[in-house]
Amino acid sequence: MSKTFIKSSLLLAGVLLLGSCKIGHKYVRPELNLPETIVSTHTDSTTIADIDWWTMYTDTTLRKLINKALEYNKDLEIAVARVNELAYQKRISMSKLFPQFGGKFYNQREVEHYDGGGKSKDAYEFGVKGTVSWELDIWGNLRWGREKSVADFLASVENQRAVRITIISEVAQAYFELIALDNELEIVKQTLEARQESVRLTELRYRGGLTSEIVYQQAQLELSKTRTLVPDLERKIALKENEISYLTGDYPSKIERAAKPESISLPETLPVGLPSTLLERRPDVRKAEQNLIAANAEVGVALTNMFPKIALTATYGTETSIFNTILKSPYEFISANLLTPIFGAGQNIANHKAKKAALKGAVAEYEKAVLNAFKDTHNAIVNFNKIKEIYDLREKYQNSAKSTMELAQLQYINGVIGYLDLLDAQRGYFDAQISLSNAMRDKQLMMVYLYKALGGGW
């Protein structure tokens, strides 16, 4: 057994013994004192966030748009690239824990010319050498660095998940808003037809001497006013289509969608789960915790930088001045270097204190993320419940307004009421239709917001 093998074995045993020490504070999740439930009125053990997004959104066209966005959206591509980058950085930090091997073959010539003499001396050297270098992780400096890189990588993964959830919700939101605009345009066009019929009737009555010219002019005014709504809604529809195209990574194009808002079905139940499930599913909270773990590891790196480092180097091979004797000229070199900070004008101490201050900030960021998660979820639940009440009331309002308008039309034709009374009834019905359409849109959007707030979508 060669001396080199024995020395290498001893070196490995020494590293394993010395490498068992790791100074610094191990990460412990901050005490959050979470409430027992997310909302006092909900004690569900399950959460709607456990539903897959393709089960949540049953409209086939919407599913296609979301799938396209998840494949081609540029923000998601950026997030994926960042994950891949940090995955390789993690591998780099992991490799520092292991010995580094190298080798070289060289042929060099050295010329010596001393004292200004006219004669020089040439020296040739040939060599083949293998090198092993290893920094002993005595205090845990490299392991803290590895922990930081792993946390950075996991934070990028959570960021990717957050981007994914955001894209799903933004596509669904824009899709429902687009359908609502279509529905509003359809209501305006129907109202426009009613206004045209009113102009025809008032003109007949005016020509027949049954009413004054002011009534006829008022009908024309209402017709013109209604017409102005059409191009504005068409503009909004085009912009919303462009927004969806952008989200799906495409150039502006026509977007297919469902014909009516009421044709889209969404879950009516509202299980929200427990506070622990909220922390587990919200990627922004998980990302904040990984950033906190990374900040804690940076404190460990800064602390261990104040202690000595030992680097071992071993070189084995052959070295000779005559090439044909290269296999008969063994070469061995083993060294241990102690690198220790002696004086840095307080740099290492200041860096350690700076990282500790950054750690306090990371704790606050994590706690803020948790508070924000509860705020978002609570707001989404309140909005969803109230929007359902608003929708039910507006539906009754529309039915009443429709009955009133139909009665007013009949009375106007029979001469019981004047045109202004009919106009008020028509305006009321138009407002009620738009109000109900907006309530339907808001009801769909509130479900999107709640699903996102609970961390659903990945």
Sheet with strand 330-339: strands edge to edge:
100-112, 121-136, 309-320, 330-339
pLDDT at 188 over 70: yes
Question: Are residues 52 and 130 part of one domain?
Answer: no
pLDDT at position 8, please? 53
Q: Is the pLDDT of residue 323 over 80?
A: no
What pLDDT does 262 receive? Answer: 81
**260 assigned to some structural domain:** yes
Please report, as a single letter, which amino acid is at residue 285: V
Greater model confidence, 97 or 451: 451
- Indicate if 102 and 16 belong to the same structural domain: yes
Render pLDDT for 372-421 as a digit per residue (tens, 0 to 9).
999 999 999 999 999 999 999 999 999 999 999 999 999 988 888 888 89
User: Both 215 and 268 in a single domain?
Assistant: yes
CATH number, domain with residue 126: 2.20.200.10
pLDDT level of residue 438 (50, 70, 90 thresholds) = very high
Q: Give the CATH number, domain containing residue 189.
A: 1.20.1600.10
> 107 and 45, same structural domain?
no
Total number of domains constituting the chain: 2
Pick the last residue of a domain from 293, 323, 340: 340
Q: What range does the domain containing 368 cover? A: 31-94+140-304+347-453
pLDDT at residue 446 tops 90: yes
Task: Return d(Cα 78, Cα 142) in angstroms, integer.
Answer: 29
**What pLDDT sits at residue 309?**
86
Residue 280 CA to residue 424 CA, distance in Å, equals 54
- Residue 185 located in a structural domain: yes
For residue 73, is it within any domain? yes
Provide CB contacts within 8 A for 55, sequence distance 6+: none
Q: Cα–Cα distance between 256 and 177 in angstroms, integer?
A: 13
Specify whether 160 is located in the same domain as 247.
Answer: yes
| Claim to verify: residue 244 and residue 124 sit in the same structural domain | no
CA-wise closest residue to 132 among 309, 300, 11, 274: 11
On whether residue 458 sits in a domain, the answer given is no
Band of pLDDT at residue 5, cut at 50, 70 and 90 = very low
- Asked if residue 267 is part of any domain, the answer here is yes
Domain end (from 340, 363, 388): 340
Q: Based on the domain organization, do 103 and 250 belong to the same domain?
A: no
Bigger pLDDT: 325 or 359? 359
**Range with the poorest average pLDDT among 189-193, 311-315, 374-378:** 311-315
Provide CB contacts within 8 A for 103, sequence distance 6+: 128, 129, 130, 131
Model confidence at 117: pLDDT above 70: no
- Give me the helices (H) in 99-212, please: 141-207
Q: What confidence tier does 44 reach under pLDDT thresholds 50, 70, 90?
A: confident
Same domain for 285 and 312, yes or no, is: no
As a whole number, mean pLDDT of residues 110-124 equals 65
DSSP string, 184-203: HHHHHHHHHHHHHHHHHHHH
Q: What is the DSSP string of 406-422?
A: HHHHHHHHTTSS-HHHH
Question: If you average pLDDT over residues 168-197, what whole number do you get?
Answer: 95
Residue 426 lies in a domain: yes
Q: Tell me what percent of the residues of the chain surpass a pLDDT of 90.
A: 56
Percent of the chain, pLDDT > 70?
93
Q: Which of 340, 360, 388 is the last residue of a domain?
A: 340
Would 152 be classed as within a structural domain? yes
Same domain membership, residue 226 and residue 190:
yes
Q: Are residues 279 and 400 in the same domain?
A: yes
pLDDT exceeds 70 at position 121: no
* pLDDT at residue 9 tops 80: no
pLDDT at 343 exceeding the cut of 80: no
Residues 327 and 279 in one domain: no
The arithmetic mean of pLDDT across residues 61-86, rounded, is 95
Same domain, 193 and 259: yes
Q: Which residues contact 325 (CB under 8 A, 6 or more apart)?
A: none
C-alpha–C-alpha distance, residues 437 and 391, integer Å:
9
**Is the model's pLDDT at 93 over the cut of 60?**
yes
Does 47 map to a domain? yes
- Give the pLDDT mean for 239-249: 97
